[in-house]
């Protein structure tokens, strides 16, 4: 069952706006609280009782043909929408609270696919404690589907990019590269790891890897630090190796450049880096943790220890 249908009776064009909203909300299931906290009015009304020091706010979209293809199940596309937002909250060390779901789509979208999408959104949201409190539906260009989720989370202390200093040690979770082989749809956002990292004062900066390791590390370091990297240390995924066999591009290149790893890239104060790493491994034995080296004063470059050359910063570009 694909996203698009040629049968008008099976398409969302057979429904009016109320019908679409009613059925989407139904399929969000218990991730959508009751009115007035949840869908049903022009606004959601949330009791403002959270005492954490920071509200963390972020938004991300999935677009048919860009973040998933027409053969992708609605369920996985919906899960991806939620989890790519949750990955941003994870990198900030935040606990998910609530989200707004906005759908813009053409009349050719399949009813069944849309409900499967809502089901996926509801499942992934529920699994992470995210409430889908409202949203919006509008008609877009023919054969298009765009879903945007704006989420709010809370944190006592927040992790950001750009707090790392010279001497800090760089860590990355999981494996890198080849996400397009499936990981981009099936990954689990590192919420527990991010919340724990946020609670450790020795952790100095954190980001998730969405645009590619090189680009996200460059953003994390900012323009006044370098990382001299022993490329052999990079945790290259099996998918990156399989992709390398298929396209002839070195697996290491895939690990450096591919987007959508949704792993956490973070730094720790040097005096406590070993301790933090051992605590992390005790706390999250299922999550691979790799130490990649030490930041030094520089100009925002990743430099190969083997060749002395700057490693590419291409990453994923959306336009141009």
CB of 219 to a copy of itself, least distance (A): 9
Cα separation, 4 vs 106, in Å, equals 9
Could you count the other beta carbons within 10 Å of the beta carbon of residue 230? 11
- Of 262 and 280, which has the nearer Cβ to a copy of itself? 262
Token digits for 45? 């009304």
Q: Which is nearer to a copy of itself, 309 or 314 (CB)?
A: 314
Which structure tokens are listed for 83?
């989890």
CA distance 29 to 236: 38
With respect to a copy of itself, which residue has the nearer C-beta, 44 or 79? 44
**Cβ 117 vs Cβ 233: under 8 Å:** no
- Give me the least distance between CB of 142 and a copy of itself, in Å please: 8
Rounded distance between C-alpha atoms, residue 55 and residue 98, angstroms: 11
Of 212 and 244, the one with the shorter C-beta distance to a copy of itself is 212
Give least dist CB 259 to a copy of itself, A.
12
| Smallest separation (angstroms) from a copy of itself to the CB of 153 | 8
* Residue whose CB is less far from a copy of itself, 188 or 304: 188
For β-strands 145-155 and 54-63, DSSP reports them as: antiparallel
**How far apart are CB 91 and a copy of itself at their closest, in Å?**
6
CA 177 vs CA 70, 89, 135, 184, 207: distances in Å: 23, 22, 33, 10, 16
């Amino acid at each position: 069952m694909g996203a698009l249908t040629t049968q008008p009776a099976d398409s969302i064009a057979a429904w009016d706006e109320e019908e679409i909203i009613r059925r989407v909300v139904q399929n969000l299931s218990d991730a959508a609280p009751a009115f007035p906290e949840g869908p049903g009015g022009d606004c959601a009304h949330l009791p403002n009782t959270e005492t954490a020091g920071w509200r963390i706010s972020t938004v991300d979209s999935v677009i048919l043909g860009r973040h998933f293809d027409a053969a992708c199940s609605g369920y996985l596309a919906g899960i991806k929408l939620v989890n790519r937002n949750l990955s941003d909250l994870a990198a900030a060390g935040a606990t998910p609270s609530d989200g707004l779901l906005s759908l813009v789509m053409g009349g050719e979208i399949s009813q069944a696919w849309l409900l499967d999408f809502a089901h996926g959104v509801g499942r992934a949201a529920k699994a992470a404690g995210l409430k889908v409190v409202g949203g919006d539906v509008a008609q877009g260009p023919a054969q298009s589907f765009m879903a945007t989720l704006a989420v709010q989370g809370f944190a006592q202390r927040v992790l950001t990019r750009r707090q790392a200093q010279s001497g800090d040690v760089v860590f990355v979770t999981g494996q890198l590269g080849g996400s397009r082989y499936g990981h981009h749809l099936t990954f689990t956002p590192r919420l527990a790891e991010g919340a724990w990292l946020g609670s450790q004062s020795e952790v100095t900066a954190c980001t998730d890897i969405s645009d590619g390791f090189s680009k996200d590390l460059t953003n994390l370091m900012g323009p006044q630090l370098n990382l001299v990297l022993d490329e052999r240390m990079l945790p290259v995924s099996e998918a990156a190796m399989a992709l390398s066999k298929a396209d002839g591009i070195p697996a290491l290149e895939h690990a450096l450049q591919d987007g959508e790893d949704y792993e956490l890239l973070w730094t720790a104060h040097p005096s406590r880096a070993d301790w933090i790493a051992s605590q992390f491994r005790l706390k999250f034995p299922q999550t691979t943790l790799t130490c990649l080296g030490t930041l030094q004063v520089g100009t925002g470059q990743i430099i190969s220890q083997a060749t002395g050359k700057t490693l590419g910063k291409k990453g994923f570009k959306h336009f141009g």
